[in-house]
């Protein structure tokens, strides 16, 4: 079955290459409208998933992620309309040069081809992933969480129906309905058919894909994000940044999980920070001895704490002697996602920004801005924590590759 | 042992980030001089590998690749001097933009970090890989073929000695001396220490790495390259291009392996081509029925033939009805490396250039130009046939990644 899906995708991908930006946008709008029209069918299928979920005792949080409502379906459709409005990166001439033998080399942005996406029980990803891939001329093969199967099938069928009405092959989106573990394993080794595989979900899903896929993977990763408050920091700005990065939204990868404080300002800064944190939300502090001496309610941090992405109202804190110790600590414990310095000293800031090996290095800004929308990309496929192909927030461009087109007059070697 | 190597590399990588372009170039020149000075030691160790190779009955071709001479060592050193002369891509500001909240986002080119390279018994790759990685601020961990172990150790020691003399940590280059298969398997799963793994060698080595590595891999691949001679081609140009692409060097990935001929010109073109080929070298033709009818000495091609990278004086040939059939055939049988059209018709050419899904698409140029040096990159790490990160010839830029540096004045969400 997987082979058939792969072959259908291979066929479909070349038909998408011929579509203009205007055609793609028109089709996306039709797909959005189609989802709204199919609202009742989709909700009915979603109810089946919800029933199964309740039966098996799914947590309230997971059920909420799984649940669709009229509003959520309309939001999905609106998301697709937003993608239609974004500029199309495909076709961009990235470079062009002539060689001494007269041949002209053009480097042109083109679609990847076939993108595989493996995700958890979030039906909205189905529509979202399709829209981003389609806008960039790519075909998608989706493997969603089994708990959302009925919802995903309903959404996929609605999209396929709209595609066919618009004269586009429906295999521009395909969903793998077989939720067997073996199928997923096979899917991750379909190098003949897929150009890239993107896992969207928690740390477990991501490491499963990284460890088992032979297809090139874009790892969208966990964030053990740090803020370092330097001796030359504006302390009230520093407190505001830590409070924001820690508490504004705790369950996200760009939230601050660890705080480093220069020894010279620890006595003034830590009490100030605690006062500001208390105004917003209770945060558990796990610190070294110096931190515990200053914050009575703090717990002693273990080595493990400094590696942790809490995704909770918990913050590990450590006192450091200088920016160099801060950089070394971060490069050792971080996940390469987002790390920031708070300082008024430009020289110190630059050594931090150059020295920290993260996708996003911040100076006097909250780490919460690592996000495709906040960066102005208009869309986000995820935040890459690997260094190949894409790093940091990924927008539409990151779903494309390039090809070289070489034009000549009979040149030989 | 691998863990120690990984940790030493992790430490070393940050010391390289601090080097200026001038410092890196000076060190590369010292390394080149050092290799020349160590000529006798290296040759003596190479002789040990050669003895072992002869004992085990290695083929003349493999022994030749393994063999070092004074000239080859000096050529290695000269290669390093060439790399020193190339522009340094690190530090390039790729993009810069201000967001409505006032924060400034800079996208800057930076080193990857730690690059792993797995290669066969070609000692020159040791020096070459080091030079390219070092120039781009990267640390390398090398795993060379066991047949070249003594040579690789001697070259690595020479480079390390020069590095230390220049005040650089010697772990900027490390060679895994353990040639055990298990060690190689472990090496391919060192995600904590390596940012990218590049296999350099034949199809077997590459697929071994693609199938077993959990580290992001850049696949440098095989080339089943096609030329399509259209009905509107200048036939004498077409013959010259096919002769060049097929015979100028047969053992390389950008050589032509398959020829497609438009049905309308087959009668005039194929005899002309055979006449031109005979002037240069005997080439075995494996064709379809129409080809066999026109070329008496041709063998009948099997389905398998159209998939083959011969790396030999063999060419598969097929008659097609139009450019669309040519495109479909190529997209089905090729390896996504280099494919070309010969035609004077611009419209036909453009449909081919857009429709063929290859790293390099040629119009009236020999496929033999898919090469970092021919493209003017000054160096080449390999030709990527995957679509992630890099496609086609890879030079220094392709050994780098980017990071975002975000500067602000206390922005929060």
Structure tokens at A204: 């477990």
| Contact between A27 and A143 (Cβ < 8 Å) | no
Q: How far is A10 from chain B (nearest CA, A)?
A: 9
Asked: is A225-369 a CATH 3.40.309.10 domain? The reply is yes
pLDDT-based confidence at residue A7 (cuts at 50, 70, 90): very high
Beta-carbon contacts of residue A268 (< 8 Å; ≥ 6 apart): A235
| Helices A39-55 & A21-37 angle (0-180, nearest 10) | 60
CB contacts under 8 A, B 265-304 vs A, are: none
- Between B19 and A17, the more confident residue is B19
End-to-end CA distance of chain B: 46
Helix-strand-coil split of chain A, %, nearest 5: 45, 20, 30
Can you tell me the mean pLDDT for B225-237? Answer: 98
Contact between B369 and A406 under an 8 Å Cβ cutoff? The reply is: yes
Kindly determine whether residue A413 and residue B217, on different chains, have CB atoms separated by under 8 Å. Answer: no
Residue of B nearest to A409 (CA): B364
Cα B193 to Cα B191: distance, rounded to the nearest angstrom: 5
Q: Which of A376, A382, A330 is nearest to B107 (CA)?
A: A376
Q: Provide the CA B291 distance to its chain's centre, in angstroms.
A: 33
Radius of gyration over every alpha carbon of chain B, rounded to an integer in angstroms: 24
Asked if B234's CB is within 8 angstroms of A103's CB, the reply is no
Residues 6+ apart with CB under 8 A from B150: B45, B46, B48, B49
> Which pLDDT does position B221 carry in this prediction?
78
A191 at the B interface (CB within 8 A)?
A: yes
Residue A182 DSSP one-character state: H
Task: Kindly tell me if the per-residue pLDDT of A4 is higher than 90.
Answer: yes
SS (H, E, C) chain B: CHHHHHHHHHHHHHHHHCCCHHHHHHHHHHHHHHHHHCHHHHHHHHHHHHHHHHHCCCCHHHHHHHCCCHHHHHHHHHHHHHHHHCCCCCCCEEEEEECCCCCEEEEEEEECCEEEEEECCCCHHHHHHHHHHHHCCCEEEEECCHHHHHHHHHHHHHHHHHHHHCCCCHHHEEECCCCCHHHHHHHCCCCCCCCEEEEECCHHHHHHHHHHCCCCECCECCCCEEEEECCCCCHHHHHHHHHHHHHCCCCCCCCEEEEEEEHHHHHHHHHHHHHHHHHHCCCEEEECHHHHHHCCCCEECCHHHHHCCCCCCEEEEEEECCHHHHHHHHHHHCCCCEEEEECCCHHHHHHHHHHCCCCEEEEEECHHHCCCCCCCCCCCCEEECCCCCCCEEECCHHHEEEEEEEEEEEECC
Q: A199, A230 in Cβ contact below 8 A? A: no
Query: What's the gap in Å between the CA of B106 and the closest CA on chain A?
Result: 10
**CA atoms within 13 Å, Cβ hemisphere of A300:** 2
pLDDT on residue B17: 86
Judge whether A369 and B105 are in contact, CB under 8 Å.
no
Among A332, A360, A303, A327, smallest CA distance to B193 is for A332
Q: Is A15 on the interface with B (CB under 8 A)?
A: no
User: Would you tell me which residues 104-133 of chain A have a C-beta closer than 8 angstroms to some C-beta of chain B?
Assistant: 105, 112-113
**Distance (Å) from the C-alpha of residue A48 to the closest C-alpha of chain B?**
37
Is it the case that residue A179 has pLDDT exceeding 90?
Answer: no
**Which pLDDT score is estimated for A121?**
85
Nearest to B103 among A196, A369, A392 (CB): A369
**CB contact set of A323 (below 8 Å; sequence gap of 6+):** A228, A230, A262, A341, A343, A348, A351, A352, A355
Q: Which residues are A283's β-sheet partners?
A: none
Q: Which fold has domain A2-220+391-407?
A: Aldehyde Dehydrogenase; Chain A, domain 1 (3.40.605)
pLDDT band, residue B141 (cuts 50/70/90): very high
Question: Smallest Cα–Cα separation from B279: which of B237, B249, B309, B239?
Answer: B239
C-alpha of B235 from chain center: 32
- pLDDT at A11 (0 to 100): 92
Q: What does the pLDDT average to over A176-202?
A: 93
Predicted local confidence at residue B181, as pLDDT? 87
Q: Number of A to B CB contacts under 8 A, please give it.
A: 188
Q: Answer yes or no: is pLDDT of B98 > 90.
A: yes
CB contact under 8 A, A388 and B216: yes
The residue in chain B having the minimum alpha-carbon distance to the alpha carbon of residue A333 is: B192
B-contacting residues in A 208-227 (Cβ below 8 Å): 210-211, 214, 216-219
Structure tokens at A198: 């993107």
Higher pLDDT, B135 or B381: B135
Residue B302 in this model has a pLDDT that exceeds 90 = yes
In B373-412, the residues whose Cβ lies within 8 Å of chain A are 374-376, 386-389, 391-393, 401-412
pLDDT at A174: 98
The pLDDT-based confidence of B293 (bands split at 50, 70, 90) is: very high
CA B30 vs CA A217, B81, B101, B158: distances in Å: 39, 9, 49, 11
Q: In 3D, which of B365, B99, B335, B112 has the Cα closest to residue B228?
A: B365
- Which pTM was predicted? 0.93
Among A182, A174, A210, A203, which residue's Cα sits nearest to residue A5? A174
Chain A contact set for B374 (CB, 8 A)? 99, 413
Please give the Cα distance from B298 to B398 (Å, whole number): 42
pLDDT at residue A18 tops 90:
no
Shortest Cα distance, chain B CAs vs residue A62, angstroms: 26
Residue B379 confidence (pLDDT): 85
Q: Look at residue A221 and tell me whether its pLDDT is greater than 90.
A: no
- The C-alpha atoms of residue B391 and residue A31 are separated, in whole angstroms, by 32
For residues A265 and A181, give the distance between their C-alpha atoms in angstroms, rounded to a whole number. Answer: 53
Distance of CA A193 to the CA centre of its chain: 23
Say whether A225-369 and A2-220+391-407 share the same fold: no
Please tell me the distance from the alpha carbon of residue B37 to that of residue B31, in angstroms, as a whole number.
10
How far apart, in Å, do the first and last CA atoms of chain A sit?
Answer: 46
- Cα dihedral B211, B215, B220, B223, rounded to 10, equals 30
B216–A386 C-beta distance less than 8 A: yes
Does pLDDT of A378 surpass 90?
no
Residue B164 pLDDT > 90, yes or no? Answer: yes
Q: Smallest CA–CA separation between A73 and chain B, in Å? A: 27
Nearest one of A402, A410, A6, A392 to A194, comparing CA atoms: A6
Across the range B282-296, mean pLDDT stands at: 97
Tell me which residue has tokens 């020149």: B29
Give the start-to-end residue ranges of the domains of chain A: 2-220+391-407, 225-369
Interface of B with A in 47-106 (CB under 8 A): 97, 99, 103, 105
Q: Residue B241: its pLDDT value, please? A: 98
Radius of gyration over alpha carbons of chain A, in Å? 24
* Cα(A163)–Cα(A151) distance, integer angstroms: 18
DSSP bridge partners of A199: A118
Asked whether the beta carbons of residue A404 and residue B410 sit closer than 8 angstroms, the reply is no
- Region A251-268 average pLDDT: 97
pLDDT beyond 90 at A1: no
Question: Using CA atoms, how far apart are residues B42 and A68, in angstroms rounded to an integer?
Answer: 69
Tokens of B4: 């120690």
User: What's the confidence (pLDDT) of residue A296?
Assistant: 94
Q: Which residue of B has its CA nearest to A233?
A: B410
- Which candidate, A43, A93, A103, places its Cα nearest to that of A71? A43
Residue A330 in contact with residue A356, Cβ under 8 Å? yes
Cα A331-A337-A338 angle, rounded to 5 deg: 85
Q: Is the pLDDT of residue B180 over 90?
A: no
> What mean pLDDT value characterizes chain A?
96
- Joined tokens for residue B398: 């392709």
Element (H, E) at A218: none
In this prediction, residues B265-294 reach a mean pLDDT of 98
At A37, the pLDDT band (50, 70, 90 cuts) reads very high
Residue A20's Cβ-count burial label (10 Å; 0-12, 13-18, 19+) is exposed
ipTM of the complex, rounded to two decimals: 0.94
Which of A367-371, B62-66, B292-296 bottoms out in mean pLDDT, i.e. has the lowest? B62-66
Strand pairing category for B104-111 and B93-98: antiparallel
pLDDT of A202: 84
Mutate to test the interface with B, among A100, A378, A388 (most CBs of B within 10 A): A388
Q: Does position A66 have pLDDT exceeding 90, yes or no?
A: yes
pLDDT of residue B36: 98
Mind listing the pLDDT tens digit for each residue in A190-220?
Answer: 999 999 999 998 888 999 999 999 999 998 8
């Amino acid at each position: 079955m997987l082979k058939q899906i792969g072959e259908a995708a291979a066929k479909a991908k070349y038909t998408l290459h011929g579509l203009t930006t205007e055609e793609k946008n028109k089709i996306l709008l039709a797909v959005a409208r189609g989802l709204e029209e199919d609202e009742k069918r989709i909700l009915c299928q979603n109810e089946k998933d919800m029933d199964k979920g309740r039966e098996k005792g799914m947590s309230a949080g997971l059920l909420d992620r799984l649940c669709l409502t009229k509003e959520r379906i309309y939001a999905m459709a609106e998301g697709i309309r937003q993608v239609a409005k974004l500029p199309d990166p495909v076709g961009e001439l990235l470079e062009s040069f002539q060689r001494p033998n007269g041949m002209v080399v053009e480097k042109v942005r083109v679609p990847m081809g076939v993108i595989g996406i493996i995700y958890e029980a979030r039906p909205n990803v189905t529509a979202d992933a399709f829209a981003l891939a389609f806008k960039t001329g790519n075909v998608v093969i989706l493997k969603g969480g089994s708990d959302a199967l009925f919802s995903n099938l309903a959404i996929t069928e609605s999209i396929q129906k709209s595609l066919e009405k618009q004269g586009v092959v429906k295999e521009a989106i395909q969903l793998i309905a077989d939720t067997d573990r073996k199928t997923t394993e096979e899917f991750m080794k379909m190098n003949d058919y897929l150009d890239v595989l993107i896992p969207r979900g928690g740390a477990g899903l991501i490491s499963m894909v990284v460890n088992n896929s032979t297809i090139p993977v874009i790892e969208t990763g966990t964030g053990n994000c740090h803020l370092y408050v330097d001796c030359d920091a504006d302390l009230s700005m520093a407190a505001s940044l830590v409070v924001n990065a820690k508490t504004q939204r705790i369950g996200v990868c760009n939230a601050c999980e660890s705080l480093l404080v220069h020894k010279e300002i620890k006595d003034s800064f830590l009490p100030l920070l605690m006062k500001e944190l208390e105004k917003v939300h209770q945060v558990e502090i796990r610190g070294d001895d110096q931190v515990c001496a200053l914050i009575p309610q703090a717990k002693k941090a273990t080595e493990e704490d400094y590696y942790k992405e809490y995704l909770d109202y918990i913050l590990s804190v450590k006192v450091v002697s200088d920016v160099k110790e801060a950089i070394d600590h971060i490069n050792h414990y971080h996940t390469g996602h987002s790390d920031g310095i708070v300082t008024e000293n430009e020289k110190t800031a630059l050594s931090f920004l150059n020295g920290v090996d993260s996708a996003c290095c911040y100076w006097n800004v909250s780490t919460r801005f690592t996000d495709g929308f906040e960066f102005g990309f208009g869309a986000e496929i995820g935040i890459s924590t690997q260094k190949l192909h894409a790093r940091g927030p990924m927008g539409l461009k990151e779903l494309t590759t390039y090809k070289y087109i070489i034009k000549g007059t009979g040149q030989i070697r």
